[in-house]
Amino acid sequence: MSAPTGFALYHAALDQLRDQSRLRSLKPRLGIDFTSNDYLGLAASSRLRDAVSAAAERGVPVGAGGSRLLRGNSPEHEALEAQAAQFFQAERSLYFGSGYVANYAVLSTLPQNEDLVVLDALAHASAHEGTRAGRATVTRAIHNDAGSVDEQIRAWRSRGGRGRAWVAVESLYSMDGDKAPLVDLQAVCLRHEAILFVDEAHATGVFGPDGRGLASEWEGAENVLVLHTCSKALGGAGALINGPKILLDFLVNRSRPFIFATAPSPLMAVAAGEALKSLKEEPERRQRLAHLVEVAAGAARRHYLGVPRHSQIIPMIVGDDKNAISLADILQERGFDVRAVRPPSVPEGTARLRISLTLNVDEKAVLDLFDALAEAWRTLVP
């Protein structure tokens, strides 16, 4: 077979995705927000806007101008890291430009040649990509199964594994809304002297004391690393890696995504710091979100749509890709911004609507959404 000429290869790949109902395109923000990760409604809040405006007025630059190791390190970055370390009760915090980059940086840099990384099968794509770029042996554990993690580590040791084991999980999974068995996972890690790396992306700000996340009980332990994104419930951009100082010092010196990337905007560091203050000073935001979760659960039960897990992420599994798209289209026509999620973002046969509850909606909007969803569901889903 001769090599493809021009862009034929790309045309063929996109045509195949279109035939499979998996072709993606960018869509504007339209309708009532049931899609974003702005769980606490901070992204457009006057509190964050005023903090960023005040910082800009006093001369804080929009851009960092370089990497943190060159001239890009600003007082705002360092202030956020000190504040985050205190807030989350960690030894040190390090600010990255995004959660994807932070996940990738940790897993491509810290586990070494003789180490093992046990990765939950449904962990973020950035975690999987980070382990592919790293040097350690990588294996996947059955989703949310601490016993599977234990078995993977034991099997690796029996084959002569001599290094350290690392266990990488999310505390609250982004597509299923379910929580990791962190108590059991930490017990496994302590038994094997392993490092537990917890991605709190969807739990930060929503769960735990003062919104410190589901891993707050263990944050600060010498065998625990935690990732907190600033782009979801915190309403801004970037991500914080918290953990033992020695490991974060190693990232500063060896992590290519940290060393060679331009530093995050100092104004975004200001926004993240203000959001952390909000978590402590405005607990009513979490309370209002928890109420919406209960409202949604009750509406789903009344319409026999299944009982969603008790988090702000509600997966309505459709199965068929085309039906998922059709349901999303109907809801969008009714004024609800709900999107279909299809493989490879989720496993084959589990195309779904991912409903996200945020403080950008009220109780009436939640009830109206489930009324519309139930009507559409009966029409399209067998």
Which of 280, 265, 264 has its CA nearest to residue 40? 280
In a domain, 8, yes or no: no
The CATH code of the domain that includes 346 is 3.90.1150.10
Phi/psi for 281 (5° steps) reads -95, -15
Same domain, 92 and 127: yes
Angle at 275 between CA 274 and CA 279, to 5 degrees: 120
Q: Is residue 129 in a domain?
A: yes
The pLDDT tens digits of the residues spanning 116-130 come to 999 999 999 999 999
Q: Provide the annotated active-site residues.
A: 37, 124, 170, 174, 199, 202, 232
Asked whether residue 90 carries a pLDDT value surpassing 60, the answer given is yes
Structure confidence at residue 269 (pLDDT)? 98
By CB atoms closer than 10 A (0-12, 13-18, 19+), residue 48 is buried
Half-sphere exposure of 67 (CA within 13 A, CB side): 11
**Mean per-residue pLDDT, 246-275:** 98
Q: Are residues 154 and 196 in the same domain?
A: yes
Kind and range of the H or E run holding 281:
helix 266-281
What CATH number did the domain enclosing 141 receive? 3.40.640.10
d(CA 259, CA 190): 31
Q: What's the pLDDT at 345?
A: 85
Tokens read off for 242 = 């918290």
For the chain, percent of residues with pLDDT exceeding 90: 88
Is the CA virtual torsion 203, 204, 206, 210 positive or negative?
Answer: positive
Amino acid (one-letter) located at 232 = K
Phi, psi (deg, nearest 5) at residue 331? -65, -40
Number of independent structural domains in the chain = 2
pLDDT at position 10 over 50: yes
**Can you tell me whether residue 338 is helix, strand or coil?**
coil
Q: pTM (2 decimals)?
A: 0.94
Do 166 and 231 share a domain, yes or no?
yes
Q: What is the pLDDT of residues 131-164, one digit of tens each?
A: 999 999 999 999 999 999 999 999 999 999 999 9
Amino acid at 96: F
For residue 113, tell me if it sits in a domain: yes
Cα–Cα dist 6/253, whole Å: 42
Neighbours of 363 (CB within 10 A): 14
| Buried b or exposed e, range 277-293, using 16+ CB within 10 angstroms | ebbeebeebbeebbebb
Residue 257 tokens, joined: 């995504």
Domain for residue 299, yes or no? no
Tokens 């809304």, located at residue: 177
What is the extent of the structural domain holding 232? Answer: 46-281
**What confidence category does residue 1 fall into, taking pLDDT thresholds of 50, 70 and 90?**
very low
Q: Who has greater pLDDT, 29 or 93? A: 93
pLDDT tier for residue 305 given thresholds of 50, 70 and 90? confident
Are 267 and 305 in contact, with CB atoms under 8 Å apart? no
Tokens encoding 80:
């956020």
Check whether residue 78 and residue 208 sit in a common domain: yes
